[in-house]
């Protein structure tokens, strides 16, 4: 039954087919004019820019600016690695130094000193003493133009550490004293 119906459909489709050749005339001028009018209306500068595109553009531009500014701050771990390697490192990856790029050439001066091991003091220094000797003052002299942003913290056993190089305050004091003597 179904086959008969399909056969009839096919036969009808065949009977309805026509092979008359069709010449394709050029579209009327009104059509081309309407097309050109459409193109003019859709040009980029006449379309309102969606709000989301504006927001995305602003975020991208500000992101690029922030990234560029971030590149101007050099992490201490990448520039002064030699210095940091001298002493045990405590949370080194959290510390950054505000360091102009032009100051980098001062690094070899410190590097030459590193060959001689820095003296270490066994006894930790008490917290009040650490406060009296801020890291900035200690670092200014041997490292020239470098400005160091550092902070002090106290470990569980009560010793005070400088976050820059993992020195105790006493170790740092002695280390820079040693540097002065070498120079």
Partner 1 sequence: MLFMFRQNWKSCTDATLLKGVASGHDGAFTEVYQRYYPRLFRFVRRSLGPSSHEVNDLLQECFLRLVKSADRFDTSRSLETFLFTIMRNLIKNEYRRLSRIPEMSSEMPLETMAFSDNHYLETMDTQHAVSRSLMVLEPSLRMIMLLRYQEELSVREIACIMECPEGTIKSRIHYGIKKLETILNKSLDYGR
The 3-state DSSP class for residue 153 equals strand
Cβ 17 to partner 1 shortest distance, Å: 7
Reading the block at residue 125, the tokens are 């220094």
> Which of residues 37 and 64 has its CB atom nearest to partner 1 in the complex?
37
> Which of residues 8 and 98 has its CB atom nearest to partner 1 in the complex?
8
> Which of residues 8 and 62 has its CB atom nearest to partner 1 in the complex?
8
Summarize as ranges the residues that interact with partner 1 (CB under 8 A).
8-9, 12-13, 15-18, 20, 22, 24-25, 27-28, 30-32, 34-42, 44
| DSSP category for residue 39 | H
Cβ 25 to partner 1 shortest distance, Å: 6
Cβ 161 to partner 1 shortest distance, Å: 57
> Which of residues 22 and 51 has its CB atom nearest to partner 1 in the complex?
22
- Residue 152 burial class via C-beta count within 10 angstroms: exposed 0-12, middle 13-18, buried 19 and up: middle
Q: Are 154 and 160 in contact (CB under 8 A)?
A: yes
Distance CA 83, CA 100 (A): 17
């Amino acid at each position: 039954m179904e086959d008969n119906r399909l056969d009839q459909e096919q036969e009808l489709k065949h009977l309805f087919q026509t092979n008359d050749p069709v010449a394709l005339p050029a579209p009327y001028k009104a059509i081309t004019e309407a097309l050109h009018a459409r193109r003019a209306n859709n040009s980029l500068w006449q379309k309102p820019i969606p709000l989301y595109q504006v927001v995305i553009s602003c975020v991208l531009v500000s992101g690029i600016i922030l990234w560029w500014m971030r590149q101007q701050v050099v992490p201490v771990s990448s520039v002064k690695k030699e210095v940091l390697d001298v002493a045990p490192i405590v949370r080194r990856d959290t510390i950054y130094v505000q360091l102009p790029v032009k100051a980098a050439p001062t690094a070899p001066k410190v590097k030459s000193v590193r060959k001689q091991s820095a003296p270490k003091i066994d006894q930790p220094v008490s917290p009040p003493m650490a406060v009296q000797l801020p890291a900035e003052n200690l670092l200014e002299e041997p490292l020239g133009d470098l400005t160091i942003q550092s902070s002090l913290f106290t470990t569980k056993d009560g010793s005070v550490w400088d976050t820059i190089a993992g020195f105790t305050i006493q170790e740092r004091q002695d280390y820079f004293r040693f540097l002065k003597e070498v120079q």
